[in-house]
Amino acid sequence: MAEEGISRRKLLIGGGVTVAAGTAALAYREELSRLWWQVPGIDKQRTEGEVDQPGAQWIAASRANLRYADRPADFPIDRIVVHVTEGSFDTAVRVFRDPMHAAAAHYVIRAKDGHVTQMARELDVAFHAGNREYNERSIGIEHEGFVDRESSFTKVMYEASARLAADICARYGIPVDRKHIIGHDEVPRATHTDPGKHWDWDRYMKLVRAAAKQQA
């Protein structure tokens, strides 16, 4: 689930926006140029507890694990990245709330009942893909489980995730295909192997397409 890992050194700017130290100077300047939204008064209006996905439970990730943005106005959203937590649902929620974790996803789905928790607003850039460009253009969905344990991936979790993915695709006009719904392991330069070989892509995509049809 995590991206570059917590060994990455961090710089704190202003009100808690984190920028990886040691990245290219150009990327750093780009980051500074995007701090316009930190100017008081022009921050996007946010309502505490508001969710993008109807029925999702809101538990805020630490602001250190994401970057406030105004998507899709500033960055188009055209990808969904599928993750597996490699730990329990509660652990995933806890670490995403931890400002030292350096990563968070927009959603975490519980295996036993398909419960959907939203931890970052879709308009914000959550640090989940381990690739800056992909973080900026994507929404990350974490699934409770372990890549080497096929039984982690329950029917209710597949179904809940497929409904969520179909809704995200509808919100941003994202095509429902494997070019736009990808695994963390398919993100360029990703060092992570999730969701792994036991994640049933055929089954999942069939469910996403069925859910997308139901909306129409």
Query: Would you tell me which residues interact with Zn ion (CB under 5 A)?
Result: 1, 83, 184, 192, 194
**Cβ 37 to Zn ion, closest distance in Å?**
27
Cα separations (Å) of 8 from 1, 5, 54?
A: 15, 6, 35
**Cβ 128 to Zn ion, closest distance in Å?**
6
**Cβ 79 to Zn ion, closest distance in Å?**
13
Question: Looking at beta carbons only, is 79 or 192 nearer to Zn ion?
Answer: 192
Question: Looking at beta carbons only, is 1 or 116 nearer to Zn ion?
Answer: 1
Tokens matching residue 123: 């308009």
**Cβ 127 to Zn ion, closest distance in Å?**
11
**Cβ 147 to Zn ion, closest distance in Å?**
9
CA distance 146 to 157: 13
Tokens matching residue 179: 């070019």
Q: List CB contacts of 110: < 8 A, sequence separation 6 or more.
A: 89, 116, 117, 144, 157
If 0-12 CB within 10 Å is exposed, 13-18 middle and 19+ buried, where does residue 49 land? exposed
Question: Looking at beta carbons only, is 71 or 192 nearer to Zn ion?
Answer: 192
Tokens matching residue 86: 């490699």
Question: Looking at beta carbons only, is 135 or 212 nearer to Zn ion?
Answer: 135
